Amino acid sequence: MQLNFAAREVAIKLVYYGPALSGKTTNLKSLHDLVSDQSRGRLMTLETRDDRTLFFDMLPLVVRGEGGMALRIKVFTVPGQVLHGSTRRLVLQGADGIAFIADSQQAETHANAESFLDLRDNLRELGRSIRDVPVIIQFNKRDLPGIRPDSEIEALAKKGREPVYTACAISGAGVLESFYGLLYLVYGHLDREHQLSQKIGMDRAQFLKSVVDRLGIQRRPEELLGAAVGGTISGGAQ
């Protein structure tokens, strides 16, 4: 979390992580397309030889409560190719929350596992632990043949500590839900660690409702939070 007292702004950073071609870029493009024009920033791309990193600012959420500050959400993807390890660490630095985008295809199970270990190792290189960072897992590409069955995804969700979502990012299905679930965890974590509610002048419930309103989402907060595999994510998670 970054504080800019001159601009009276709090900025939080979300990073979409995962193996190459799992749908990180598609998630951000879909998210960018789904929200209202006035709530999204310019989509920027850093091209590499064989991959790309996307970045955009969202939610210039101005809090008008007494003593409140504006809240800005910055969203990034990392390049998934193995050779871009140093770039992934650079993008990951200072992340307040991480969406791990896994490929649902059975053939990509090993690539998912390797990428998750890479995430854990890169956080360790940055002096952090994956257990101390809000993380959600999204199983993308649910529209393709040869995917891991729902029963297997449900079993993984019960076994792990991270909330799990299913998605088809190319159509936008599950994109908002994953993003919203991550925001839920991040806000709770930052509020406990840095008293975010006091800084921006609203509690988590007010914040989540403001996100829905400012993004122009025609959905109720509890409906979005209930989209995690196995039901509503726990208020005590992370």
Better pLDDT: 36 or 193: 193
Residue 85 scores a pLDDT above 90? no
> Where are the alpha helices (H) located in the chain, listed in sequence order?
24-34, 85-92, 109-125, 150-159, 175-194, 196-200, 204-215, 221-225
Mean pLDDT of the chain: 86
Q: Provide the whole-model pTM.
A: 0.91
Domains and CATH numbers, the chain: 2-225 (3.40.50.300)
Rounded-to-integer distance, Cα 27 and Cα 144, Å: 16
Residue of 14, 13, 18, 12 whose CA lies nearest to 167: 18
Contact 28, 75 (CB under 8 A): yes
Helices 204-215, 175-194: crossing angle, 10 deg rounding: 140
CA–CA separation, 119 and 77 (whole Å) = 13
Q: What is the pLDDT of residues 197-224, one digit of tens each?
A: 888 888 899 888 888 887 877 788 888 9
Q: How would you class 218 by CB atoms within 10 Å of its CB: exposed for 0-12, middle for 13-18, buried for 19 or more?
A: exposed
User: Would you place residue 237 in the very low, low, confident or very high pLDDT band (cuts 50, 70, 90)?
Assistant: very low
Structure confidence at residue 142 (pLDDT): 97
Return contacts of 112-115, CB within 8 angstroms, 24+ apart.
Answer: 112/18, 112/19, 112/22, 114/19, 115/17, 115/18, 115/19, 115/22, 115/80
All residues at 6 or more sequence positions from 214 whose CB lies less than 8 Å from its CB, including other chains: 36, 39, 59, 61
Residue 35 confidence (pLDDT): 81
